[in-house]
C-alpha cells in the first residue's frame, strides 16, 4: 500500500521536476506523465510522478492531509 499527498508541479526541466505539497518541495521525475505542465497535480511513488490528478481532487486530498497533520 502506498500513501501519497498530491504534489503540484512548480518547475519542469525536461523529465526532471520540482513538486510542492504542504510547504515541502521534492525533486521528482515526470517520465510517466504525458505533457506535464506547471500547476498540474500528480501522485508520486519512488520519486516518479505516476498519475495526474484533477485539481479539485488534489485540493480535497490536501485538505484531508492537513486535517490529519493538525489532529492532536
CA distance linking residue 14 with residue 33, whole number of Å: 12
Considering the domain boundaries, does residue 42 fall inside one?
yes
Considering the domain boundaries, does residue 47 fall inside one?
yes
Considering the domain boundaries, does residue 2 fall inside one?
no
Query: Rounded to two decimals, what is the model's pTM?
Result: 0.89
pLDDT band, very low/low/confident/very high, at 17 (cuts 50, 70, 90): very high
Range of 62's domain?
Answer: 7-70
27 and 13 in contact (C-beta within 8 Å)?
no
Considering the domain boundaries, does residue 1 fall inside one?
no
What CATH number is given to the structural domain containing 33? 2.30.30.140
Residue 2 predicted with pLDDT over 70: no
Q: How many domains, in total, are found in the chain?
A: 1
Q: What is the pLDDT of residue 4?
A: 79
Read off the pLDDT of residues 19-61 as tens digits, 9 standing for 90 and up. 999 889 999 999 999 999 999 999 999 899 999 999 999 999 9
Q: What is the pLDDT of residue 68?
A: 86
Q: How many CB atoms lie within 10 A of CB 44?
A: 21
23 and 64 in contact (C-beta within 8 Å)?
no
Considering the domain boundaries, does residue 12 fall inside one?
yes
Amino acid at each position: 500500500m502506498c500513501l501519497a499527498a498530491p504534489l503540484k508541479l512548480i518547475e519542469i526541466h525536461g523529465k526532471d521536476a520540482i513538486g510542492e505539497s504542504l510547504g515541502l518541495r521534492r525533486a521528482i521525475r515526470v517520465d510517466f506523465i504525458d505533457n506535464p505542465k506547471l500547476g498540474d497535480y500528480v501522485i508520486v511513488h519512488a520519486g516518479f510522478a505516476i498519475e495526474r490528478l484533477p485539481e479539485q481532487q488534489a485540493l480535497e486530498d490536501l485538505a484531508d492531509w492537513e486535517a490529519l497533520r493538525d489532529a492532536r
